[in-house]
Amino acid sequence: MDVMLTQVNKYTNKSLLTCAITLAVQTLGYNTCLYNPFLNQSYIKRKDLEDPDNQFYYRYKTHIDFVNTYKFGSLFTEGENSTQSKDEVNLTKVYFEYRELLSKYDAIISEDTDTLMTPLNDDLLNYDLVKMLDIPVALVTSPCDDWFERLLYSINCVNEMGIRLRGVIFTRFPRCPKNNILNVPKNIAKYSSCPILGIIREFNENTYIPTVKLAYLILANINMSKLMGQKIYYPNYIHL
């Protein structure tokens, strides 16, 4: 089983969601790995570390197997001398490492860098990697301006690319949403054939969420069988 999470817009808590889904699949009894092919090292701004992805990984690293093929260079923001290293990417290396992970683990949960069309370097997009590895994707989105149009466009683009689309996960959903927000999942189901995998309510991302609570949040709110692409049964010890 494998799936890659890719976001439609910013501020979706995608990295936290990736950790949560990995914990959830492990809770179901599968030997699971979180794979991030390209991990950006911490951004350095005025000597402070500011990388929320790394913060989420750090919180749950003792509970999850993390694998990275590349760690991209740090970004320095010091006036006009700001530079970012140009990283060489060997797709063959990524391909064979992923195949090895597929043989080692029951399930692999992957996270891309931002969106499918985000450049990884001067010659490579996330899209190229997903197509090469033949990973099915799940779109992650949260409330934003024109988010219905963005999501519908993203669904059509993924289908045109020939990438297998498992469905959509809505995150940071308000606990008391207005009608325009409530209507988005309904309209996506109405105007596309894309499955709605689940809705995750808004919570304080700065609060450390216990691993069991995080896993159960996913199990109770996301269709795991559709997300992972095969029928999944919850063991008797899972009480939601």
Share of the chain above pLDDT 90, in %: 26
With 60 as the cut, is the pLDDT of residue 133 above it?
Answer: yes
With 70 as the cut, is the pLDDT of residue 114 above it?
Answer: yes
Q: Can you give the pLDDT at residue 23? A: 93
Single pTM value for the model: 0.83
Q: Which domains does the chain have, with CATH numbers?
A: 2-228 (3.40.50.300)
Q: How confident is the model at residue 99 (pLDDT cuts 50, 70, 90)?
A: very high
Give the residue with greater pLDDT, 130 vs 70: 130
pLDDT tens for residues 12-69?
888 888 989 999 999 999 999 999 887 664 443 434 444 455 667 777 877 888 888 8
Q: How confident is the model at residue 3 (pLDDT cuts 50, 70, 90)?
A: very high
Residue carrying structure tokens 């891309």: 112
pLDDT tens for residues 166-224?
999 998 888 777 777 888 888 888 888 889 999 988 766 556 678 888 888 889 899 99
If DSSP states are collapsed to H, E and C, what string results for 9-30?
Answer: CCCCCHHHHHHHHHHHHHHCCC
With 70 as the cut, is the pLDDT of residue 240 above it?
Answer: no
